Structure 1
Amino acid sequence: MEFAHSFTVAAPAARIYAHLIDPRSYIGLSPLVVEVRDIRPSNSSIAYVAVERFDFGPFHWNNPIRVTMTGSTDGHTITSAVRSPGFVTLNSRVALVPGVAGTEVTESIAVTAPLGLRRFVLNQARSVQQYRATELTRRMTT
Structure 2
Amino acid sequence: MPKVTLRNTFHVGNTPEVLRAHLSQPQSYVGLSPLVVAVQDVEQGEGETRYTSIERFRFFGLVKYDNRIKVTLRSTPRTVEGEVKSPGGVRLDYRFTLTEKAGGTEIEDILVVHAWIRPLLGYAARKAREVQLARAGVLASRLG
* TM-score computed with the length of structure 2 as normaliser: 0.94
Structure 2 match to 1:59: 63
Cα deviations by residue, 1:105-125 (Å, 9 ceiling, x for unpaired):
001111111223111101000
In the TM superposition, residue 99 of structure 1 has moved relative to its aligned partner by 1.4
Match of 1:119 in 2: 122
- The number of equivalent residue pairs is 139
Equivalent residue of 1:14, what SS? Answer: helix
Q: Aligned partner of 2:51: which letter?
A: Y
Residue 101 of structure 1 and its aligned partner are, at CA, apart by 2.7
- TM score, norm. by length of structure 1: 0.95
How far apart are the structure 1 equivalents of 2:36 and 2:89?
19
Equivalent-residue separation in structure 1 for 2:58 and 2:107 (angstroms): 29
Task: Please give the per-residue CA displacement for 1:58-117, whole angstroms capped at 9, x wherever unaligned.
Answer: 111000000001111xx2101110000121100001000011331000011111112231
Structure 1 residue 36 and structure 2 residue 53: aligned? Answer: no
* Aligned position for 1:96: 98
In structure 2, list runs of 5 or more residues that go unmatched: none
Q: 2: distance between equivalents of 1:60 and 1:120?
A: 17
Q: Secondary structure at the match of 1:30?
A: coil
Alignment RMSD (CA, Å): 0.8
Partner of 2:131: 128
1:139 counterpart SS class: helix
One-letter identity of the residue aligned with 2:111: I
Percentage of pairs with the same residue: 36
| Runs ≥4 residues deviating over 4 A | none
